[in-house]
A = this chain, B = another copy of it.
Amino acid sequence: MGRDALTVPLIAARAGVTPSTVYRRWGDLRELLSDVAVERLRPEAPPADHGSLRADLEAWAVQFAEEMSSTAGAAYIRDALLGDPEQGNAARCSDYAAEQLKAIGVRAAGRGEAVPGVETLLDVVVAPLMYRILFRPGDLSEDYTGHLVAAALGRLAPPPAPPAASPPAEAHKS
């Protein structure tokens, strides 16, 4: 069935209820789609353990980029952003990513690795990916994702030791 041919009466018929029931519960097709999108964007499993912070982050970021840049993923993001007056659903999406990154972080900290803060990871890895997905379609590559992770690891926390590798200066070019 067509993506934007979806209407409340169709959904109601599929659900075996009358359209008025759907309108009363959600009030709007966009709000319903927004709730559905958030549900679909919820991660199903904790991030996989690949033995190191870098490997975990790269694997997670690549999977994240693939999911979100797919046709379906991008549609979900847009739906989640749209029918959402108080931005509650959008914040939930960000929280999902933050939870996953947090899990990766505590696991790495348990190994004794230096770990960037969740805020830093959101800024350096998630935000650029999302920005490209939303505003610059077709501009994503696995190399780029790896570059973002490297940039995040270039901003490590002061506690344990000085950062081993120097930050990649001006890596990525248009």
A158: interface (CB < 8 Å): yes
Most-contacted residue by chain B among A78, A123, A132, A135 (CB, 10 A): A135
Chain B, residue nearest A154 (CB): B167
* Count of chain copies: 2
Docked Cα-Cα span, A94 to B130, in Å, equals: 13
Alpha-carbon separation in the docked complex, A124 to B170 (Å) = 11
Contact of A127 among B82, B87, B130 (CB under 8 A): B130
Q: How far is the CB of A31 from the nearest CB of chain B, in Å? A: 11
Contact between B91 and A137, CB atoms less than 8 A apart: yes
A140 vs chain B, min Cβ distance (A): 12
Q: Tell me whether A25 is interfacial, beta carbon within 8 Å.
A: no
With contacts A123-B128, A169-B156 taken as known, whether A134 is within 8 angstroms of B174 at the C-beta atoms is no
Q: Least Cβ distance of A7 to chain B in Å? A: 14
**Whole-angstrom CA separation of A137 from B88 in the bound complex:** 9
Q: With a CB–CB cut-off of 8 A, which chain B residues contact A90?
A: 134-137
10 further contact pairs, Cβ within 8 A, besides A123-B131, A130-B135:
A78-B82, A82-B82, A87-B135, A87-B137, A90-B137, A123-B151, A127-B131, A151-B155, A163-B169, A167-B167
